[in-house]
């Protein structure tokens, strides 16, 4: 065994300590250097991610501005805001922001007699309307302005203008008004949609002024299509859209919209379920836009609807007339007279020949018995005068219709070419 002196042991220990310190220092420097190399890379990655996120947000805002609408800005900035709303809510918000400024509030004043039987102007009704042209044309319901002597049209910003009637049509319950905005005002308008391809269950949106609460929005679905609704004693409107979207007094004349913000109908009438209630019970009706377009075009161009007519003097059949004349039916339209030389006369429709007094003692009228009784026009059964007018509502002068008549105790069908208003009204 080799032996070491004390001096040698101390010397070896010193060298060992110094060597360990040198090795530890080298290892520490290597680790520190490696960490320094990693830190800039991680920092660069974070900075890149932050820049990318900021660029993405900036690009999104830029796209919204290019699309040109503040309503789109709120929808485009989806990184933070879209998570707050469902897709259905976003759709509702978009339609409202697109259309609400084009919905107007219509108020009227009417002439009446005071306690001293003197004429005086009183506050009339109110309703809604849609701006359909930047020149200030507004479409609404006939019944909203029926008895108006003065009309006020109020916009979303609180400004009000006097409205004038361009044309109105009782048979379709549609009227066109106009106001004159200042030259520096650019009006928002509502686009017409398509009511021909509607489906039951399709979502719809109504905007109007129920109970004077301006530009109120409600949503629902199409509950039915092609509904014939008797709006008044002599008016039946056919092919109406039924909806469960809440429609209340003041909504009349406002738009029924699809989910793209296009007008598919005019909100017109509700069924309340009771004579003691006036609010919505989920059954409302709108005039389809297909009818609206036809009527509005005529009202703007002619001031009236250029509608095909039968040139007859019509009389509503009753049980009293049937008993007196010995006729086997008590429904339909009695043809009292036919205008000589008209298309109606040439088509073979016959008027009566026996004059009788008809009506009340204080308001008698002469009618002629023995003529045809109209029981159907095309495929529409005619039982009342409202049926008669509604069956011809969509017809044009020169159109040919199939008229079913009761004559000599049997039914016959005639092909009748319709006249225009001038021929029909000059009997």
- Taking CA atoms, 321 is separated from 355, 356, 357, in Å, by 12, 10, 11
143 assigned to active site: yes
* Max CA pair span of the chain: 160
Which residue in the list 143, 154, 336, 337 is annotated as catalytic?
A: 143
Kindly state the tokens that stand for 46: 């974070």
CB 315 within 8 A of CB 334: yes
| Residue that has been written with the tokens 């009293």 in this structure | 320
d(CA 278, CA 275): 8
3-state secondary structure of 247: coil
Catalytic residue among 252, 337, 347, 390: 252
Residues 6+ apart with CB under 8 A from 152: 106, 107, 108, 109, 160, 161, 162, 163
**CB-CB contact of 196 with 155 (8 Å):** no
- DSSP type of residue 254: P
d(C-alpha 257, C-alpha 219), whole Å:
9
Residues in the chain: 427
Q: From its phi and psi, is residue 247 left (phi > 0), alpha (psi between -120 and 50) or beta?
A: beta
DSSP string covering 139-184, please?
A: EE-HHHHTTEEEEEEE-TTS-EEEEEEEEEETTTTEEEEE----TT
Evaluated on CA atoms 176, 394, 289, 248, the torsion sign reads positive
User: Which of 126, 130, 173, 387 does the annotation list as catalytic?
Assistant: 173
Spatial separation of the C-alpha atoms in residues 22 and 35, rounded to whole Å: 21
Is-catalytic flag, 252? yes
Q: Hey, what are 233's tokens? A: 């004693």
Looking at the annotation, which residues are catalytic?
143, 173, 252
């Amino acid at each position: 065994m080799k032996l070491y002196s004390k001096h040698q042991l101390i010397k070896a220990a010193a060298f060992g300590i110094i060597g360990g310190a040198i090795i530890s220092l080298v290892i520490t420097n290597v680790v520190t250097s490696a960490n320094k190399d990693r830190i800039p890379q991680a920092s660069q990655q974070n900075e890149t991610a932050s820049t990318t996120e900021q660029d993405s947000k900036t690009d999104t805002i830029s796209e919204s501005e290019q699309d040109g609408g503040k309503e789109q800005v709120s929808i485009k900035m989806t990184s933070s805001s879209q998570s707050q709303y469902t897709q259905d809510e976003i759709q509702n918000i978009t339609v409202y922001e697109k259309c609400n400024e084009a919905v107007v509030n219509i108020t009227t004043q009417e002439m009446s007699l005071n306690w001293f039987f003197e004429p005086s102007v009183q506050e009339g009704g109110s309703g809604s309307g849609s701006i359909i042209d930047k020149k200030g044309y507004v479409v609404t319901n006939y019944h909203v302005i029926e008895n108006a002597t003065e009309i006020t049209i109020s916009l979303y910003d609180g400004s009000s203008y006097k409205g004038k009637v361009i044309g109105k049509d009782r048979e379709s319950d549609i009227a066109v008004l106009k106001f004159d905005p200042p030259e520096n005002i650019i009006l928002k308008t509502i686009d017409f949609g398509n009511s021909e391809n509607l489906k039951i269950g399709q979502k719809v949106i109504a905007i109007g002024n129920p109970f004077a609460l301006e530009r109120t929005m409600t949503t629902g679905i199409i509950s039915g299509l092609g509904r014939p609704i008797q709006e008044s004693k002599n008016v039946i409107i056919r092919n109406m859209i039924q909806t469960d979207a809440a429609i209340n007094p003041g909504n009349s004349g406002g738009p029924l919209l699809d989910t793209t913000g296009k007008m598919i109908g005019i909100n017109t009438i509700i069924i309340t379920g009771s004579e003691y209630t006036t609010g919505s019970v989920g059954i409302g009706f709108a005039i389809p836009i297909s009818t609206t377009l036809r009527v509005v075009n005529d009202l703007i161009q002619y001031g009236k609807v250029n509608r095909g007519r039968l040139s007859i003097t019509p009389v509503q059949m009753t049980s009293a007339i049937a008993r007196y004349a010995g006729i086997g039916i008590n429904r339909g339209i009695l043809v009292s007279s036919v205008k000589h030389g008209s298309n109606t006369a040439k088509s073979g429709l016959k008027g009566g020949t026996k004059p009788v007094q008809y009506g009340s003692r204080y308001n008698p009228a002469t009618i002629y018995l023995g003529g045809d009784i109209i029981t159907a026009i095309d495929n529409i059964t005619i039982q009342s005068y409202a049926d008669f007018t509604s069956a011809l509502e969509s017809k044009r002068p020169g159109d040919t219709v199939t008229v079913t008549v009761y004559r000599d105790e049997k039914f016959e069908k005639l092909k009748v070419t319709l006249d225009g208003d001038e021929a029909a009204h000059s009997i």
